[in-house]
Amino acid sequence: MVPPTAIADPASAAAPIGTPDAPAIKDPVRDTILTPRFYTTDFDAMAAMDLRPNEVELEAICEEFRKDYNRHHFVRNAEFEGAADKLDPETRRVFIEFLEQSCTSEFSGFLLYKELSRRIKAKNPLLAECFAHMARDEARHAGFLNKAMADFGLQLDLGFLTANKAYTFFKPKFIFYATYLSEKIGYWRYIAIYRHLEKNPESKIFPIFNFFENWCQDENRHGDFFDALMKAQPDTVRGLQARLWCRFFLLAVFATMYVRDVARKEFYEALGLDARSYDMYVIAKTNETSARVFPVVLNVEHPKFYTRLERIVGNNEALSQADASSSPAPIKALRKVPFWAANAIEMAKLFLMAPIRSEQFQPAVR
Ligand SMILES: [Fe+2]
Ligand SMILES: [Fe+2]
């Protein structure tokens, strides 16, 4: 899952280091708008959902989930032994950050799906079963990442995270847009890294990347589930409101990812990737995929699209610098105001850019 929210300045916290045998508990990174979100929703509305308009497809997807293709996939092998020690300090730092962010996102997916499954079980068994299978997958993903963190002498305290994270309430249709996009973008992110490392094995800095191919198929299936669910609730992807919300969520997800990834481009460099080109590819692919269900998608090919995102990247650098200065808090805040305002204006301009009607964008797929 990735956060479907707007832009703030990124931040991370220094981590205590333990040993693989006695991992230190890692404090979650300081909450900013860029860190993964935890969600909650209207469970009664979810339970009351009528699936009949697309029940056959949902039943078929559930049948796929039951097969549990990755049951035996997430098993650590000898390759992990000593792999963490081979990373130089800078790569180690950015890689740990990547593991932590990914683990938190996977875990936030697990919590949401698990809670949904539990709360709607009696009234909507098919939907509840789908969510239970997805929770199973996300728990596996989060657990696998957390084990990799233990290789670096760190562990995310998932129990603490569950109890102490702030939960964002989203109406069901917003959960659909946000989670659909985060699953599909997750698929494209993982598969792009996997394919790149397949061609450039010398850049495979850690064996966890070997698992990405099957892993991203889980995310792809989760995305397909939300696609089918939105088609079962056609009002979520029909009409003016839906078009505006889809634009908003596409933009929020793309902008958040772009700004975050450029800010931690060292991680991508360690894999032999350029963060900007990687994100442009992932954004183009996710946008294209979204046209299968969203009524509109963004014109990401428009020359102004990335010019504006780059301005946000620049503003965020200025915000980080203001944060790092030794000025008193009120002065800092005052120095930050123009950059916040500039970000808001850029986001508004991005939102107002003419979208592309999905039926015109990809007629063959629809
Ligand atoms: Fe996942
Ligand atoms: Fe997923």
Predicted local confidence at residue 2, as pLDDT: 40
Predicted local confidence at residue 35, as pLDDT: 56
Q: Ligand 1 centroid vs 320 CA: distance in angstroms? A: 30
Predicted local confidence at residue 119, as pLDDT: 96
- Percentage of residues in the chain having pLDDT higher than 90: 82
Amino acid at site 314 = G
**What burial letters (b/e) apply to 251-283, b meaning 16+ CB within 10 Å?**
bbbbbbbbbbbbbbbebbebbebebbebbbebb
Q: Ligand 2 centroid vs 341 CA: distance in angstroms? A: 34
Q: Ligand 1 centroid vs 68 CA: distance in angstroms? A: 14
Residues, CB within 5 angstroms of ligand 2 (ion): 183, 219, 222
Ligand nearest the Cα of residue 215 is 1
**What burial letters (b/e) apply to 7-41, b meaning 16+ CB within 10 Å?**
bbbbebeebeebebeebbebebbeeebbbbbbbeb
Q: Ligand 2 centroid vs 288 CA: distance in angstroms? A: 19
In the chain, which stretches have pLDDT less than 70? 1-36, 362-366
Ligand nearest the Cα of residue 141 is 1
The pLDDT tens digits of the residues spanning 331-363 come to 999 999 999 999 999 999 999 999 999 998 854
The pLDDT tens digits of the residues spanning 243-301 come to 999 999 999 999 999 999 999 999 999 999 999 999 999 999 999 999 999 999 999 99
Q: Ligand 1 centroid vs 276 CA: distance in angstroms? A: 23
How far apart are the C-alpha atoms of 132 and 250, rounded to whole Å? 26
Ligand nearest the Cα of residue 185 is 2
Q: Ligand 2 centroid vs 39 CA: distance in angstroms? A: 14
Predicted local confidence at residue 27, as pLDDT: 58
Q: Ligand 1 centroid vs 49 CA: distance in angstroms? A: 24
Give me the residues paired with residue 296 across strands. 357
Q: Ligand 1 centroid vs 214 CA: distance in angstroms? A: 11
Ligand nearest the Cα of residue 221 is 2
How far apart are the C-alpha atoms of 94 and 316, rounded to whole Å? 19
Predicted local confidence at residue 235, as pLDDT: 95
